[in-house]
A and B are shown apart, each in its own frame.
Chain A
Amino acid sequence: MSVELLRYPTYLWATLLLALMAWLMVIFILHFFVPKAMLKTYFKEPHFSPAEIEFFTGFPFAYIRTVMFMRLAGWPESGEKRGLTEAYKLAPSWFRVISRILIRFLFVGSALLGILGIFLFAGFYYFENFSS
């Protein structure tokens, strides 16, 4: 068994990582297109605690807030516990569509990256310590 076995999984992992880094860049841009009406109407009590409002305002954690509102726009039912199921109505349909695509990509891509990452972590460890 040689470490060559890990070559193609590694290439896949690296490609996934680059794709997700590009995803981060897209979020950075999309942050400025989150509908202001959504934020004004729903980014306050009682939907968010004072702690959360303070935390997710301003650089850099406002980008996490962007992802939160993207999920709300794409899947209204995700806002059930916070009473945010109507929030999607304030988002234009292009924003809702893009949000669904991007959030799906985040979940699937991260899961794959995570699984592959653990596999490669173990694989490299094995070849470093137990194989000539």
Chain B
Amino acid sequence: MLNDVPAQDELDFWMLSWLAHNSNYLVIPGSIVAGTQGNLLSGGNIRLLEQVGDLYAQYKSGGITQNQYEYRRRLLLNQFKNNIGPFERFLFGSKTTHEAIRIARAGGVPATANIDHHVDHLKRLASYGKYGGYVLTGVGVAASCMQIADTEDRQKKNEIFVETVASTSVGLLGGALIGAFLVSNPIGWGMALVLASGSVAAGYISGVVAKNAYTTFGKEVDFVSGMGVDSVCR
């Protein structure tokens, strides 16, 4: 997911680029990071694109004129473009929204195939985005498991373990707090990005504190063998 963000979007996606350059990004829960993508690739936005297909059907059946069709299509696509913001390039590659969602005029290909193709693409991305957090958290936990297995040092194994538990838990708590906030404050994607990045930062800080706390005060406790983690991660 991170490799697909083009370099010119890094200014817009400062949070993602911070994650990409931070060597610890795999152990920070991604569930909150993916939260913002889930907002953008939403049923509402996808419905906007589907309406372009409906409009075309209306035009072809004589319900509206070509001018009306083109005008309304432009309105819908502009709204979609505004909603998704800088993600546009990520989703559609080098084509703009307007270029990508055009009616295929080639013979034998259904006219709305081009639109349907992109709607399906978006739906798939939306489902990845929604589960992306779960997958990333899974990846994060799996990555720590690998790190635990890779090191021989018992101390290091325990440090990785406590860091993972702390940052994952705080990330989940961040999600809960965001939920409590969202119910009283419906927000847009810009704010969602800010909230998400705050949770990620809190998770990271907690991980570091846990590691330092363990190293300074908890060395006698061997969580990894006590909980059987080292029989799983080896």
Instruction: Please give the residue numbers on chain A whose beta carbons come within 8 Å of chain B beta carbons, in ascending order.
Output: 3, 6-7, 10-11, 13-14, 17, 20-21, 23-24, 27, 49-55, 58-61, 63-72, 78-82, 84, 103, 106-107, 110, 113-114, 117-118, 120-121, 124, 128
How many A-B Cβ pairs are below 8 Å?
133
Chain B's interface: helix, strand, loop or mixed, by majority? helix
Looking at chain A's contact residues, is the secondary structure mostly helix, strand, loop, or mixed?
A: helix
A27 with B176: CB separation less than 8 A = yes
Chain A residues within 8 Å of B43, by CB: 50-51, 53-54
Q: Check B169 against A17 for contact (C-beta < 8 Å).
A: yes
User: In the complex, A64 Cα to B170 Cα: how many Å?
Assistant: 14
Instruction: Judge whether B229 is part of the interface by a CB distance below 8 angstroms.
Output: no
Write out the residue numbers on chain A whose beta carbons fall within 8 Å of the beta carbon of B44. Answer: 49-51
Q: Is the CB of A54 within 8 A of B126?
A: yes
Tell whether, in the assembled complex, residue A6 and residue B216 are in contact, meaning their CB atoms are under 8 Å apart.
Answer: yes
The answer to whether B217 touches A106 (Cβ under 8 A) is: no
Q: Does B42 contact A (CB under 8 A)?
A: yes
* Smallest CB gap from B216: residue in A: A3
In the complex, chain A residues whose CB is within 8 Å of the CB of B212: 120, 124, 128
A4 to B213 Cα, complex, angstroms: 11
Nearest CB in chain B to that of A14: its residue: B213
CB <8 Å contact, B184 and A71:
yes
A121 to B212, CA, bound (A): 8
| Contact present for B134 and A60 (CB under 8 Å) | yes
